[in-house]
Structure 1
Amino acid sequence: MEETTESAIGVPMPRHPLQIRDYRIFWLTRFAGVIATLSMVVVLGWQVYDVARSDYGMSRSAAAFQLGILGLVQFLPLFVLTPISGVVADRYDRRKVAALSMGIDSFVAAALGFATWSDNLSLPLLFALAALHGVARIFFGPAMNSLAPNLVPAPMIPRAIATNAIAWQFASVLGPAAGGMLYAVFPTLPYIVSVVLLVLGSLMVLLIKPLRKPEVDRKKHPIKQITEGFRFVWHDRFLLGAISLDLFAVLLGGVTALLPVFARDILQVGPEGLGWMRAAPAAGAGLVALWLAVKPMEHNVGVKMLWAVGIYGLATAVFGFSYDLIFSLFLLLILGAADMISVFVRGSLVQLNTPDEMRGRVSSLSGLAISASNELGELQSGIAAALLGATGAVVFGGAGAILVTIIWAFAFPEIRNARTFAPVYRE
């Protein structure tokens, strides 16, 4: 028997999000989609670095810079289309937007699989398909993130966010590890698996019952609607501080882009080792997400977020000095666990403090910050690696993330003083 409570009118109420049919479908869709995309992305990063080294004869530094270019070509469409994607998520059926986005990503996976099978890989082709993958992601994120709060009762949203994070993080463990191992067995295999999972995901999300459309003024010009989203985030100091802290800390401290360098030339563990290294942060984050699903964070959320980002930077800096795979995996595990706390605070803040008619736009802006920190972080890492070497770039980035945390603690006292997810100050 499912554990429930009685509502005020005697109707059984669910105690956990997974007791709700549409949320279960949402959860499975998210799980399948993340496994597929991250399996594909880890192989894509390996191929860019390997092709640059083997086919183009580039040095380690020059090839590492190509990983920075890979981040840039994924970020440019995100930067241009993010405001539009938020308006689309608020004006149209979010289920269909998510399904179409996964369909586009399945085409990218199929194209990469065919190019790998036919031995026709080149850097321009890899960069072009990576850019199209970025387009798919930017429409998928706001649509899916805006669906979740409408599938569960409002008091259950923090637990739903943590449960959603479990899908994300454990898929983030399985996806990279599977991508690396499948690539070692047969290079085309991870792309085949990605196509199957993305197609299944696009069909599953359409099984969610149609939801009431947000009450958006459709006569209002889209540019004005975009401006409203920016204004809402700007005037919520806690929200602005949390999003910008994550943006700059990960922008500087992101180590993911350089993992192919460590796997191939420093630790010398090959694509299988790269898969485990990409999976380790997600494993740490997944363990924290499990804990938060059982016991969601409710008190002193701001200070906990600041400490988590500082630990993230410290683990990143120490990773740069490691020449042992086991110790490196441990540091990546800690890094991911700390990052999950930051993700949980920011995600809960966005969902609990944003009106439904603006969730798509605010989620898209939060997603832009995440994407900027990830993709532009890859560019920063590539440039820094070309100048300082991979080790120097990672150590520099980790130290920068710690410095940003200290600055933000004083520049945004709203974060430091926050006891709950309710904004401390509003203008």
Structure 2
Amino acid sequence: MFRSLRERNYRLYASGQVVSLTGTWMQRAAQDWLVLELSGGSPAALGVAVALQFLPTLALTLWAGVFADRFDKRMILIITQSALGLCGFALGALDVTGIVVLWQVYVLCFVLGCFSAVDAPVRQSFVVEMVGPAQLTNAVALNSMTFNLARIVGPAIAGVAITAIGTGWVFLFNGLSSVAVVAGLLLMDTALLHRADTVDRERGQLRAGLRYVRRRPDLVVVMVLVFSVSTFGMNFESTLAVIARNVFQRDADGYGLLITMLAVGTLTGATLAARRSAKPGSRLRLMLIGAGVFGALEALAGVMPHYWLFATALVPVGIAMMTFTTSANSTVQLAVEPTMRGRVMGLYMMLFLGGRPLGGLTAGWLAEVFGPRWPVVLGGLISLTAAVAGAVVLSRQRKRGLIQPLG
């Protein structure tokens, strides 16, 4: 199950990510709670914060994919990870000194989003360089395990820490945690990297990447599905804090527990994906099933009447969500030419993250007007509908001989 960890460079990367991502999830929980405190519990204010953090993805992620194909991915990641750590230090300093106000949080959300928009596609396309194509699916699954282990530990620690010492110290810890992943990148043996040929600078490289995807109807369907599920179904940053505080009258530790329960499910889903990576089978079919089941389970969770029923329902939601995301990621990466991988993953990450501003604002508006449960219920139904529509379109295209299965 852990075959990709045989690669020294990937071991360094994964160990640094455990520490850094724990800090990242601590900051996310603390940031959501700080925004609610500064805004008097406004769901719309939290939606604005989420939108600002993901808005730069629309402008920068596609170009980041071009940079990933053109430049040294490891060096780009060293710069972006260092900058993300500095954002944590800045917000922590403002909070600890007691001078933080809501507009400052908004500004730092936007700055953080800018560096994250560049970091995401480069980081995704760098995985194959650390482990090679044969171990990519396993490495993607292990990345998800690392991500969701941090998603369990981070919010749980943050919930206790916010109550005990305040949100500011959580932000400072996140800034410090970025040192781990930067150190791992610096210690890598570059001779062991499975680097693809870099693309020389020339005009029209971004358009060439978009044309490449447009000519692949199978990739188009995957991209549309990823956008639909991520934008409307995976808005947990905008919904869980509001549901914990405004529906179930819970404090920060209650919110942290909801994130932890979701993360238990996503970690389980990532573990199952790592086990499946050595077995033959259709990743595309698994992606469609994962998206449909995720949507149905999320809609069901949204109507749970009691806190513990809602929290428990988040576990299977997390399993289905991770089944969808890991299969979608590996499906796209293994289906494209190496010289196009950065640009295609730039588009993938733009659709995966770039819809969050729309989703965050929509979720905030729905929660404000109709109640906090509605973003969860409608998000699940939209995800289910998108999965069914995607399956129908792919089936028709395959019958007409327009596409070949992605695998």
Of 332, 341, 345, the residue aligned with 2:314 is: 332
Of 206, 227, 232, the residue aligned with 1:226 is: 206
Counterpart position of 1:380: 362
Counterpart position of 1:275: 256
Change (3 A) 1:354 1:262: same
Of 186, 194, 199, the residue aligned with 1:206 is: 186
Counterpart position of 2:15: 28
Tell me whether 1:97 sits opposite 2:97 in the alignment: no
Following superposition, the deviation at residue 178 of structure 1 comes to 2.0
Q: Is the 8 A contact 1:237 1:414 kept in 2?
A: no
Mapped to 1, the partners of 2:148 and 2:319 lie a distance apart of 10
Of 186, 200, 213, the residue aligned with 2:165 is: 186
Tell me whether 1:85 sits opposite 2:67 in the alignment: no
Counterpart position of 1:52: 39
Mapped to 1, the partners of 2:109 and 2:144 lie a distance apart of 24
Of 120, 127, 130, the residue aligned with 1:141 is: 120
Which amino acid in structure 2 is aligned with residue 371 of structure 1? Answer: L
Which amino acid in structure 2 is aligned with residue 201 of structure 1? Answer: V
Q: Identity of counterpart residues, as a percentage?
A: 23
Q: Is the 8 A contact 1:70 1:379 kept in 2?
A: no
| 1:355-370 paired onto structure 2 within 5 Å | 355-370=337-352
Tell me whether 1:238 sits opposite 2:222 in the alignment: no
Which amino acid in structure 2 is aligned with residue 268 of structure 1? Answer: Q
Q: Is the 8 A contact 1:320 1:394 kept in 2?
A: yes
Change (3 A) 1:124 1:364: same
Change (3 A) 1:79 1:153: closer
Tell which deviates more after alignment, 331-340 or 402-411: 402-411
Q: Is the 8 A contact 1:86 1:142 kept in 2?
A: yes
Mapped to 2, the partners of 1:105 and 1:244 lie a distance apart of 29
SS in 1 for 2:382: helix
Change (3 A) 1:85 1:425: closer
Mapped to 1, the partners of 2:223 and 2:82 lie a distance apart of 29
Change (3 A) 1:244 1:304: same
Change (3 A) 1:406 1:353: closer
Runs of 4+ in structure 1 deviating by more than 4 angstroms, as ranges, are 414-417
Counting matched residue pairs gives: 399
Mapped to 2, the partners of 1:231 and 1:173 lie a distance apart of 39
| 1:257-296 paired onto structure 2 within 5 Å | 257-296=238-277
SS in 2 for 1:322: coil
Of 336, 348, 356, the residue aligned with 1:354 is: 336
Counterpart position of 1:38: 25
Q: Is the 8 A contact 1:91 1:214 kept in 2?
A: no
The C-alpha deviation readout for 1:354-398, integer Å capped at 9, x for no partner, is 222222211111111111243432121012222212123322222
Mapped to 2, the partners of 1:344 and 1:220 lie a distance apart of 33
The C-alpha deviation readout for 1:51-91, integer Å capped at 9, x for no partner, is 111xxxxxx6xx11112211221222111111221112222
Give the TM-score of the pair, scaled to structure 1: 0.87
The C-alpha deviation readout for 1:325-377, integer Å capped at 9, x for no partner, is 32112221111110111112111112212222222211111111111243432
Of 390, 394, 397, the residue aligned with 2:372 is: 390
Change (3 A) 1:291 1:254: closer
Following superposition, the deviation at residue 272 of structure 1 comes to 1.1
Change (3 A) 1:67 1:153: same
Mapped to 2, the partners of 1:315 and 1:212 lie a distance apart of 39
Tell which deviates more after alignment, 151-160 or 196-205: 151-160
Following superposition, the deviation at residue 155 of structure 1 comes to 2.0
Of 13, 18, 24, the residue aligned with 2:5 is: 18
Following superposition, the deviation at residue 425 of structure 1 comes to 7.6
Of 117, 121, 125, the residue aligned with 2:104 is: 125
Which amino acid in structure 2 is aligned with residue 243 of structure 1? Answer: M
Counterpart position of 2:353: 371
Q: Is the 8 A contact 1:158 1:348 kept in 2?
A: yes
User: Where does structure 2 lack aligned partners over 5 or more consecutive residues?
Assistant: none
Tell which deviates more after alignment, 269-278 or 315-324: 315-324
Of 147, 151, 176, the residue aligned with 1:196 is: 176
Mapped to 2, the partners of 1:90 and 1:70 lie a distance apart of 31
Mapped to 1, the partners of 2:213 and 2:226 lie a distance apart of 14
Of 370, 376, 384, the residue aligned with 1:402 is: 384
Following superposition, the deviation at residue 270 of structure 1 comes to 0.9
Which amino acid in structure 1 is aligned with residue 23 of structure 2? Answer: A
Following superposition, the deviation at residue 322 of structure 1 comes to 2.4
Tell me whether 1:69 sits opposite 2:56 in the alignment: no
Tell which deviates more after alignment, 110-119 or 203-212: 203-212
Q: Is the 8 A contact 1:78 1:135 kept in 2?
A: yes
